[in-house]
Chain A
Amino acid sequence: MIDTKILDLAVQDLRNVLRDGLVATDIWERTAGLSLAGYNQQPVAVALFTRITTELESSLTDSNFPPLARYYLLDMEGNHTVAVVNHGALLQGILVDNKRANLGILISVAIPRMVEAVARAQAR
């Protein structure tokens, strides 16, 4: 059981932390691909990053690499950076404008806060 109110509050907190640097975010169930909370939600990105994450995790396993931990980052054209956060049964994509959002705050403040909040939501 997942408390979606906590997820909504966590998304609001993410918007406050990253301010106008946050372009979009989604939190979704990785099996169903169902988005549970978000801001400027992107259904296509949900499908895309579910597939990329699954491929990445299986590739790491097949290569005897350590498994994916909390997140991975993609640096994309147009000053865009995507962080895909691994919440276990849930995944989250965070798209930021890296000219407006500080990557230090994203990695050291926003993602740890989000990991804790989603863990609380999943514990309900």
Chain B
Amino acid sequence: MTARSVSWTDAASVAQLLARASSPRRPAVHTFGAAGGVALARPIPQVAPALAPAAAPVAAAVPRSITVPPPARLKSQFPAPRLIQTSDNPSDCLDALLAWTLDHQRCTGAFIADDNGLTLAAHGISEAHVSLVGPLLSALVSVRMIPGIDATAGALWLGDNMMSWVETRNERGGFCLGTVGSEPLSSRAFEQLKDALEITVRRL
């Protein structure tokens, strides 16, 4: 062993190295403390504004004088009423589902498609965009082979907006309800969409 090597049995050398690596720590490093000793040896990055939420536990301990005005309530923040289908006509049911989605979810467009990507009803999105549901759902069949993975809901960035979708099946096949908007839907909204889609698909 040469003089430049660090022996893991040489406690003095290890302590010296650790001290040197950890000496420039700033308070924010406590956030990474739970990650283990490896994190301590990393150079500490400048905390960018985008990382501010990650430091929330530390910030929460200090009272803040700045109050952020609450954002205007958007339609998805209201509790959406459960969809009630009153017609036995499948076309009426699909129209009602589409209208309910547009009224109660934060989206600019919505669609209902089968698992081949064929549009059953749509508003604010082209059939060409809806057709991508076909290969998307086909790809997810193999994803669902992984135990514990449901993969019946998700969001896909289309380039200029986000498509969120849920899927359900009946004895005739799979059906998909999707929305397009500037951001993905919340998990609560996904649950509402799935519930509404299941109610509708039972009548198709």
Interface residues of chain A, those whose CB is within 8 Å of chain B, are 16-19, 102-105, 107-109, 112-113
Q: How far is the CA of A103 from the CA of B113 in the complex (A)?
A: 11
Count of chain B residues with Cβ under 8 Å from any Cβ of A?
Answer: 15
Interface residue ranges of B141-180 to A (CB < 8 Å): 172-173, 175
- Residue ranges of B at the interface with A (Cβ–Cβ < 8 Å): 89-91, 94, 113-114, 116, 118-121, 172-173, 175, 204
Instruction: Please name all residues of chain B whose beta carbon is closer than 8 Å to the beta carbon of A109 when the two chains form the complex.
Output: 90-91, 120, 172, 204
On whether the beta carbons of B94 and A105 are closer than 8 Å, the reply is yes
Nearest-Cβ distance from residue B117 to partner chain A, whole angstroms = 9
Q: Is chain A's binding surface mostly helix, strand, loop or mixed?
A: helix
Q: Are A104 and B90 in contact (CB under 8 A)?
A: no
Q: Do A16 and B91 form a contact, CB below 8 Å, given A104-B114, A107-B114, A108-B173?
A: yes
Q: Say which residue of B89, B119, B172 sits within 8 Å of A104 (CB atoms).
A: B119
Q: List 6 A-B contacts (CB under 8 A).
A: A18-B91, A102-B121, A105-B90, A105-B121, A109-B90, A109-B91
Known A102-B120, A102-B121; judge A108-B172 contact (CB<8 A). yes
Whole-angstrom CA separation of A65 from B11 in the bound complex: 77
Question: In the complex, A18 Cα to B89 Cα: how many Å?
Answer: 10
- Identity of the chain B residue whose Cβ is nearest the Cβ of A112 in the assembled complex: B172
